[in-house]
Amino acid sequence: MAVFSKIAVAALALGGAGAAILWWLTVPEKLGPEALAALGTGDATRGQRIFDAGGCASCHAKPKSEGDVRLQLVGGVELKTPFGTFVAPNISSDPDDGIGDWSLEDFANAMLKGVSRDGQHLYPAFPYASYARMKPADVADLYAFMKTLPAVQGRAPNHDLAFPFNIRRGLGLWKQLYLGNEPVVAFAEGTPETVLHGRDLVEGAGHCGECHTPRSLAGGTEKGQWLAGAKAAEGDGVVPNITPEGKDISGWSEGDIAGYLETGFTPEFDSVGGTMVEVQKNMARLTAADREAIAAYLKAIPPHPNGYPAQQPKPAG
């Protein structure tokens, strides 16, 4: 009996230690003083460019909104995934239903650390795993621009997630694997500034890898297949491979890519389709230099074979 009691006590001690370690590993981590100081004060004019690069309106405005209505960020867009349905929240400047009373620190913690104002993990359907690579000053600029947008009342519905995905604390382990601010593609010293500028846009604010890179079973991007294409998050389609090996754009020049982002037309005069329609609208609002930088980056990254299974041909008839 004494031996059994000792074993039971040891098991409880180990279990307690394991629980304590798990709790420590999953603590939501916020920005430190040095990172907060790097934010600066922000500039709304520059922030509009970051807003467009990030495609904020594509998820947070009402679907099919046009013109100034795209700036009414009431949320409500649904993203149906294997983990459940995520709903984009109201991020307008409304102080009650949106983020109107958030400080720059609150905003930066959400963007760069995936931590909400009340200290909880945010779900990575909000692509903070990409935004974490943004320059702090760009985050401050975006915040300054967001403060100029209209306040819109109306709270979006909650996410609809099954157990265990509705346990936010577990996202701390996910972040240990997939959240970091290091560039995905490391370039050699002397790489042209245009390519590095494109990297900032594609890997950071533009979050292109969130759709164009295959994901692990845990939902993180497989960086070894960066931009190699992926199964679409919704439906049975695929998102194309946009590395130099991708058949869709392998023969395109930098000018072809930049032109497509500006006009929505391929070199063969096909027009943009699917979910890329919204992305192209956002890219068209960037500067010509931005689009040229994105194109230069896409031609400079490592080639990869397609990151999605081969599509079976549809039966005739």
Which stretches within the chain are classed as H helix? Answer: 2-25, 33-37, 44-54, 56-60, 104-113, 128-131, 136-146, 171-178, 193-199, 209-212, 254-263, 276-284, 288-300
pLDDT digits (tens, 9 = 90+) for 62-93: 877 888 889 999 998 888 888 889 999 999 99
Q: Which residues contact 257 (CB under 8 A, 6 or more apart)?
A: 249, 291, 294, 295, 298, 299
The two tokens of residue 172 are 């701390």
- Could you tell me the pTM of the whole model? 0.88
Distance CA 114, CA 129 (A): 8
pLDDT digits (tens, 9 = 90+) for 134-157: 999 999 999 999 999 999 999 998
Distance CA 14, CA 9 (A): 9
Are 115 and 29 spatial neighbours (Cβ–Cβ below 8 Å)?
Answer: yes
* Cα–Cα distance list, 152 to 51, 118, 156, 171, 208 (Å): 18, 21, 11, 30, 28
Taken in order 279, 59, 98, 131, the sign of the CA dihedral is negative
Please tell me which residue, 68 or 262, carries the higher pLDDT value. Answer: 262
Tell whether the model's pLDDT for residue 52 goes beyond 70: yes
Tell whether the model's pLDDT for residue 312 goes beyond 80: no
Distance CA 71, CA 98 (A): 13
Tell whether the model's pLDDT for residue 232 goes beyond 70: yes
